[in-house]
Amino acid sequence: MRQLVIIAACFASGILGAMMGSDLCAPTIDCPTKPHTLHAQYTANGVPITPYAANKESNPVIQAVRKVGPATVNIDTVVLRRTSIFGFADPFDDIFGTDPFTRLVPSKGQGSGLIIDGKNGYILTNEHVVHDVIGRNGDIKVSLPNKQTYPARIVGADPQYDIAVLKIDGRNLPEAKLASSNDLVIGETAIAIGNPFGFRNTVTVGVVSAVDRVLDTDKGRLDGLIQTDAAINPGNSGGPLCDINGNVIGINTAIISGAEGLGFALAASSIKPVVDELIKYGRVRHGWAGMTFWDISQRIARQLGLGTTDGALVAEVYTGGPADRVGIRPGDVILEANGVKITSVADIQDVLRKARAGDKLSLKIWRRGQSLVLNLTLADIPEALRRRGI
Q: Which of 76, 90, 158, 162 is catalytic?
A: 162
- From the list 334, 376, 344, 343, the residue with the least C-alpha distance to 358 is 376
353 Rama class: left (phi>0) / alpha (psi -120 to 50) / beta: alpha
Structural contact between residues 59 and 44, judged by C-beta atoms closer than 8 angstroms: no
166 forms beta bridges with 123, 154
What H or E segment, with its residue span, contains residue 190? Answer: strand 189-194
Catalytic residue check, 128: yes
- Residue 237 annotated as catalytic: yes
* Bridge partners for 189 per DSSP: 207
What letters, b where the CB count within 10 A reaches 16 and e where it falls short, cover 203-215?
bbbbbbbebebee
Nearest to 365 by CA among 324, 326, 337: 337
Q: Which of 209, 237, 286, 347 is catalytic?
A: 237
Angle of CA points 28, 200, 78, to nearest 5°: 150
SS3 call for 203: strand
Active site residue 132: no
Closest Cα to residue 122, out of 160, 159, 153? 153
Catalytic residues: 128, 162, 237
